[in-house]
Structure 1
Amino acid sequence: MKNYKKGHRKRLREKIILDNGQSLLDYEVLEHILYSAYSRIDVKPIAKSLIENFGSLNKVFNADLEALQNVDGVSNTAISAIFCVKQAFVRSAREEIKDLPIIDNWEKLLDYLRISIGSLNKENFRVIYMNKKYRLIAEDLQNIGTVDQTPLYVREIIKRALLIGSTSIVISHNHPSGDTQPSNSDISLTRQLAEACQSIGIELIDHIIITFSSYFSFKENRLL
């Protein structure tokens, strides 16, 4: 009987070279990433198991450490490879807004937020600090919260903005539920931050609730 596993990695590499990997199936993308973690074993079952467990390639890349460790056969070395790929996506998207006026490149900012926090399974707050020309000068992960609550520390944001000389900020957080409608807590906290910013001459440009497929803008919906 012919051994179809023999030469499989070579065939997969040739497939990638042929069309820049565009014809790869999702599990084949994971296979190639996992080669760096497993030099000798067949990683196809592990790649397929990851897709099956999380439902999509995107959700694999956005899974947290504990969730990945619960998948049979997935080692910490494999997890580190997955995390590095996710960071490559995030940093590439961040480069797109790094040296541009963010206020004039809104779609690129939304793309960055989708990639960095849009699919995470816990609420995360990003605070984007800008200068007078609306260029990025700093970014903070303000808080990693539970699924249903993310404290927003107004005082810490204001303190940080003053420390680095930021004159405008955008805040964003994800809703793991996929529903981008703001909660009463979201609205209340945004108003508190807007009032604090206004009192010291800092512009709160927007609060964006983001998921991988949609977003809610407080400014566009006249809540800011």
Structure 2
Amino acid sequence: MATQDKPHHLGHRERLKKRFIDAGSDALADYEILELLLMQFVPRRDVKPAAKFLIQKAGSLAKVMDLPQQTIALAPGLGDKTAFVFEVLKAFNKQAKRQAVVKKASFLNRLDLLEYLYDKMTPLKHEEFHVVYLNSKNHVLAEEMLFRGTIDSSVVYPREVIKTALEKGARSLVLVHNHPSGDPTPSQDDFHLTTEIQKLAAPMGILIEDHIIIGDGIHYSFSDQGKL
């Protein structure tokens, strides 16, 4: 009785795994790295077409996780179950980055903070106002969303910002919000809000380190622009 040949993609999987183990990710193309991930959830199908489909839709490997769940489900051979796994991975990645930022010793180098903020706030279709609370040694105490909606003085209550800072024992704050339009240029409301919070913070000995507005791949820093 003749032995039936294994499907060609099974041999491809084994070779791909071996290349990754022997030489690391630098030896693989972007779609091959995505293939390796998809193999863990799609055990009996050639996932190369799905990997190439997702990268083509996203524009790059780095942006695959930003794809909507519905788009991922449309990739050849994937479907809703695999798309849901991507949503879980996305949530895991976001939460892990958040915890890494909160546990950093300080924000003397703000690259980690900015990367975290871009990942968290760029995809939002609505405005959110967040505060990063720091102690006297510039160590992170917490990062929280305080308000959601159109960010102006009628929605964000400066007294609530300072009250929360005092409750946490914060000595300085980084204010953050996003502009869903993608343009981080501050509005008059943004300037007014920053000034109002500063006025309340100063008598309490609380410093406003910065107010960062996140746009689409670009941000505005009140501190960098000399507006604080």
The two structures have a TM-score, normalised by structure 1, of 0.77
Q: Percent identity between the aligned chains?
A: 37
CA distance in 1, matches of 2:161, 2:81: 34
Kept in 1, the 8 Å contact 2:130–2:143? The answer is yes
Contact 1:127 1:139 in 2 (8 A): yes
Distance 2:208 2:120 in 1: 21
* 2:25 partner SS: coil
* Counterpart AA for 1:100: A
- 1:74 and 1:189 map into 2 onto residues whose CA distance is 45
CA RMSD of aligned residues (A): 3.1
The equivalent of 1:13 in structure 2 is 17
Match of 2:205 in 1: 201
Letter matched to residue 110 of structure 1? L
Q: Which residue of 1 aligns with 2:144?
A: 140
Which residue of the partner structure matches residue 100 of structure 2? 95
1:41-99 per-residue CA deviation (whole Å, 9 max, x = no partner) reads 33333322322323233332234xxx222441442444334542563476357536624
Distance 2:119 2:17 in 1: 26
1:55 matched to which residue of 2?
59
User: Whose radius of gyration is greater, 1 or 2?
Assistant: 2
C-alpha contact (below 8 Å) 1:97/1:105 kept by paired residues: no
Q: Give yes or no for contact 1:69–1:76 (8 Å, CA) kept in 2.
A: no
Contact persistence 1:37–1:78 (CA under 8 A): no
Task: Give the C-alpha shift of residue 213 in structure 1.
Answer: 4.2
- Cα offsets for 1:201-220 (capped at 9, x unmatched): 32111011235743321012
Change (3 A) 1:34 1:121: farther
* Residues 106 and 40 of structure 1, relative CA distance in 2, 3 Å threshold: same
SS at 1:205 equivalent? strand
Per the TM alignment, residue 168 of structure 1 is displaced from its structure 2 partner at its CA by 1.0
Deviation at 1:199, TM superposition (A): 4.1
Greater RCO (Cα-Cα under 8 Å, separation 6 or more): 1
Distance of 2:213 and 2:92 partners within structure 1: 21
Q: Within 2, Cα distance between the matches of 1:128 and 1:8?
A: 47
* Aligned-residue offset at 1:166: 1.3
Question: If the length of structure 2 is used for normalisation, what is the TM-score?
Answer: 0.76
Structure 2 Cα separation of the partners of residues 49 and 143 of structure 1 = 38
Provide closer, same or farther for how the CA distance between residues 92 and 136 of structure 1 changes in structure 2, counting only shifts above 3 A: same
1:43 and 2:47 equivalent?
Answer: yes
1:204 alignment partner, SS class: strand
Match of 1:80 in 2: 85
> Kindly tell me: are residues 69 and 114 of structure 1, through their superposed partners in 2, closer, same or farther at Cα, counting changes over 3 Å?
same
> Number of paired residues?
216
Aligned partners of 2:180 and 2:39: how far apart in 1?
31
Instruction: Report the Cα offset of residue 128 of structure 1.
Output: 0.8
Q: Could you say which residue in structure 1 is the equivalent of 2:222? A: 218
Distance 1:144 1:59 in 2: 25
Moved more, 78-87 or 15-24: 78-87
Matched-pair contact (CA < 8 Å) for 1:209–1:217 = yes
C-alpha deviations, 1:3-43, integer Å up to 9, x for none? 54232222222222233212333332322222333222333
User: What letter corresponds to residue 98 of structure 1 in structure 2?
Assistant: K
